[in-house]
Structure 1
Amino acid sequence: MAENALDRDTGVSHIVWDWNGTLLDDNDANIAAVNKVCAEFGSPPVGLEYWRSVFRRPLRPCYEELLGRGLTTHEWERLNESYEHHYSAALPTCGLAAGVPDVLEEWSAAGGTQSLLSMAAHRHLVPLVNERGLGHHFTRVDGRRFDGGHDSKAEHLVAHLTRQEVDPATVVLIGDIDDDAVAAREAGAHAVLVATGMMSEERLRATGHPVVPSLAEAVAALTR
Structure 2
Amino acid sequence: MNNAIKSPLETALAGKKHIIWDWNGTILDDVSYAVDTINWQLARHDRPQLSFAEYRAIFDFPIRQYYDRLGFDYARASFETLCHEYVEQYMSGYQICRPFEPVLGVLRASRSQCEHQSILSASEQSSLEQMIAHFAIGDLFDHIQGIDNRFAASKLDSGRRLIETSGVGCEDTVMVGDTLHDVEVARALGIDIVLVDHGHHSREKLLGADVNVVSV
Give % identity: 27
Return the letter of the residue paired with 2:67.
Y
CA contact (8 A) 2:179 2:201 kept: yes
- TM score, norm. by length of structure 2: 0.87
Aligned mates of 2:59, 2:105 — CA distance in 1: 29
In the other structure, the counterpart of 1:176 is: 178
Aligned mates of 2:160, 2:114 — CA distance in 1: 23
Equivalences, count: 208
CA contact (8 A) 2:64 2:153 kept: no
In the other structure, the counterpart of 1:37 is: 41
After superposition, where does 1:27-106 map in structure 2 within 5 Å? 27-67=31-71, 71-72=74-75, 74-106=77-109
Aligned mates of 2:154, 2:77 — CA distance in 1: 22
CA contact (8 A) 1:107 1:113 kept: no
CA contact (8 A) 2:20 2:173 kept: yes
Aligned mates of 1:175, 1:116 — CA distance in 2: 10
Q: Is the partner of 2:60 in helix, strand or coil? A: coil
Q: Is the partner of 2:211 in helix, strand or coil? A: coil
Return the letter of the residue paired with 1:126.
E
- TM score, norm. by length of structure 1: 0.84
Return the letter of the residue paired with 1:115.
S
Aligned mates of 1:99, 1:154 — CA distance in 2: 27
In the other structure, the counterpart of 2:4 is: none
After superposition, where does 1:117-132 map in structure 2 within 5 Å? 117-132=120-135
CA contact (8 A) 2:19 2:114 kept: no
Q: 1:141 aligns with which of 144, 147, 151?
A: 144
Q: 2:19 aligns with which of 15, 23, 42?
A: 15
Deviations 1:178-207 (A, max 9, x none): 110110100011000011111011111111
Aligned mates of 2:185, 2:65 — CA distance in 1: 19
Structure 1 segments unaligned to the other structure (5+ residues)? 215-224
Structure 2 segments unaligned to the other structure (5+ residues)? 1-6
Q: 1:203 aligns with which of 202, 205, 209?
A: 205
Shift of 1:177: 0.4
RMSD: 2.3
CA separation of 1:147/1:189 partners in 2, compared to 1, >3 Å: closer, same or farther? Answer: farther
Return the letter of the residue paired with 1:177.
T
